[in-house]
Structures are given as structure tokens and as C-alpha cells.
Structure 1
Amino acid sequence: MGITMVMLVAVSFMVGAISIAEAWKEESAEVIHVGGKVLCQDCTQGWNEWVAGAKPIKGCKVSVTCMDERKRVVYYGSDETDEAGSFEMIINKYINGKELRRNGCFVRLVQSPDPVCNIATNVGGGRTGVRLSRPTMVYRDLIKHVLGPFYYTTPMCDEPDTGDSTDTGAGNY
């Protein structure tokens, strides 16, 4: 009885893993969803407020840029955040008849409309960009990447860039 139960659990696990792998390879999904949040983090507050008190920013612009094998831009799109600081972009999986390389796409912060909280930080990779790698969710025809959260901060909290001024970080993409 015990061996039968173990075998049943093992088979169930393998069937689930195979169906996930098939969904990963399935070519029927025509679009890729990219979403996340943009928040304002104020370093002038106490530790608890700084860590857990980040506020959503409405109207922040977030972009996605996709490049081909030769590092040429084949897709660019952007979205603005809603009241909750959330953004959602839908990217066609096929551009000009060719399949988009997800690992050639990266998402980054562009601008904040907040007059006080408008310095992009690299917490979560928002300033230099986050490469799309494995989706967070694959279900039937839905492929979704949930990123971030990305953060802006106040000018008072901005750390000076002490790195090499010729390296923008975007050259890695």
C-alpha cells in the first residue's frame, strides 16, 4: 500500500512536470505579458518606513526593449503605472515574422512624474534594466514575467555614482 502511494505521487509529479515543460515549449502563445510595480522609497524615514513603507507612484513610465542576435532593437514599448504603481505590457511574440528572443529583452524605468520621488534606483534592476529570462507564470496560452518591484527615491537619498563614468550598465544587454 505504501509503495503504491509513493509511486502514485511520483507519477503525478512527473505528469505535472511534463505538462509544465510542454507549456514552456508550446508555440501557440502569441503574446508575452510583462508586469510589475514601481514604488517610492524615502530614505529620510525611519528604518521600518524605509523598508516596508514604500508608496506606489502613479504615472511612472516603464519600457521594454528587445534586441536580436546582432544587438539591433527589434521592439520597443512602454507603459505607465496605475494608482497602485502597477504596469502591464503585452508584447507580440512574433515581430516581422520572426520569433522574439525573450532573453534579448530588458525592462527598465524611464521616468517618474513625482516631483519629489524621481531618482531611479537600481534596487530590483530598474535603472540598468532587467533581462527577461524565465517566465514567472506559464499557463495554457499565458506567458507572464512579473518583475520588480522597481524603486524611485528622493534626490536627498541618491548615492553618487563612484563607478567608471563610461560604463552605463546598458551595454550588457
Structure 2
Amino acid sequence: MAQKITTLVLLIEILFLVSCLSHFTTTKADNDGDVIHVAGKVMCQDCSLNYDKWINGSEPIKGAVVSITCMDERRRVRYYGSDKTDERGQFDLIVNNVLYGGKDLKPQLCNVRLVSSPDQSCNIPTNFGNGQTGVKLVRPFMVFKDLVKYVVGPFYYTTPMCETPKFENNY
């Protein structure tokens, strides 16, 4: 019985420490660093391939544009920026944490989404990874000294033949 109580107390202490560290990380991310980084990847997924190749065979898209829009509490746009992907389909948006007028940027009010694909054979945005509707920055992936980094996605485009048809009058 004493061993069960000791184990329960130890579990409660661990949960408390994890909660404190999570709060510390979020608080530190909200207050430290001059910039925040938002990284991710943009891929092409071809629905005409067999299941295994469709799931595992996505290819990176070079030159795809991804944007970040940050709002304030009154739902006004405070920052907008974009970045193009490299040959590996990766992007790294860098946003100043202090906005014009000395106001602090609140990352949780930022939204990252797909904008465009230069690949004409793979330019239909999908909502896999919420790339079409956008991803809110909730928790940083990494906080280390002055580096605050968020990771989103991967985001996907697909081929025009995979696009879902739009019907008029729901028919």
C-alpha cells in the first residue's frame, strides 16, 4: 500500500513539473527574443498513384509560397509576410516580435497558410495539415535562449485531376 502511495505522489510531482515547464516555455516564448521563426514543408501529393505511393511518395515543391498573417486583439492585421520554399520544399518565415509602434506580436494570433504553387501539374491546395485554411501558432516547437521556433505542416498541393468537383445547388 505504501508503495502505491509513493508511486502516486511521484506521478503527481512529475505532472506538476511538466505543467510548470510547459507554462514556462509558453511564457518565455511570448516574452523573449527579437524574432520568431516558423518553419515547415510544402509537398505535392498525387492522388492518381496507388495507395502506398500516394501516402509515402509525396515530392517537395520548390518555389511554393507560404504566408503568415498576424492580427491584434481587435482582429486587425498587424503583420503579413511570406516566404518561398527551397529545393527541399522547406520554408522559414522570420517575424519580428516587436511591431511598428513598439507593440509586441502575439504568436497565438498568427495564421500560417498556403498561397501558391509554381508547379502547374501540382497547384491545387489541400487542407491536409490545414494548409488551405491555415494553422494557428499555439506552442513553440523549440525555445532556446533567444530562439523561438514554431513548426507547422507539412502542407500539401495535389494535381488538378484530384480536385473535388464543385456542384451547383448541391447536386
TM class, shorter-chain normalised? 0.7 to 0.9
2:70–2:80 CA contact under 8 A, matched in 1: yes
Paired AA for residue 40 in structure 2: G
Task: Figure out how many residues of one structure are paired with residues of the other and give that number.
Answer: 164
CA contact (8 A) 1:23 1:139 kept: no
The alpha-carbon deviation at position 82 of structure 1 amounts to 0.3
Q: Is the 8 A contact 1:23 1:140 kept in 2?
A: no
Cα offset, 1:44, TM superposition: 0.5
1:116 is matched with 121
Structure 1 distance, partners of 2:64, 2:58, is: 15
Q: Which runs of 5+ in 2 are unaligned?
A: 1-8
Identical-pair percentage: 51
Match of 1:82 in 2: 86
1:51 pairs with 2:50:
no
Aligned to 2:146: 141
Measure, in 1, the Cα distance between the counterparts of 2:132 and 2:168: 14
RMSD over aligned CA atoms reads 2.5
Task: Give 1:160's match in structure 2, choosing from 155, 165, 170.
Answer: 165
The range that moved more, 7-16 or 72-81, is 7-16
Q: Are 2:76 and 1:62 aligned?
A: no
2:75 alignment counterpart: 71
Contact 1:42 1:154 in 2 (8 A): yes
Q: Which amino acid aligns with 1:89?
A: L
Question: Offset of 1:39 from its aligned partner?
Answer: 0.2
- Is the contact between residue 103 and residue 131 of structure 1 (CA under 8 Å) also seen in structure 2? yes
Unpaired stretches in structure 1, ≥5 consecutive residues: 1-6, 165-173
Distance 1:78 1:21, change over 3 A: same
Contact 1:39 1:56 in 2 (8 A): yes
Q: Secondary structure at the match of 2:161?
A: helix
Give the Å deviation of 1:139: 2.1
Give the superposition deviation at 1:145: 0.9
- The 10-residue stretch of structure 1 (107-116 or 17-26) with the greater mean CA deviation from structure 2: 17-26
CA distance in 1, matches of 2:103, 2:56: 43
Q: Distance in 2 between matches of 1:143 and 1:12?
A: 25
* Counterpart mapping for 1:8-47 below 5 A: 18=20, 21-26=23-28, 27-47=31-51
Corresponding residue number in structure 1 for 2:5: none
Query: What is the TM-score of this pair, normalised by structure 2?
Result: 0.82
| C-alpha spacing 1:31/1:161, structure 2 compared with 1 (3 Å) | farther
- TM-score with structure 1 setting the length: 0.81
Distance 1:9 1:69, change over 3 A: closer
Counterpart Cα distance in 2 of 1:76 and 1:149: 20
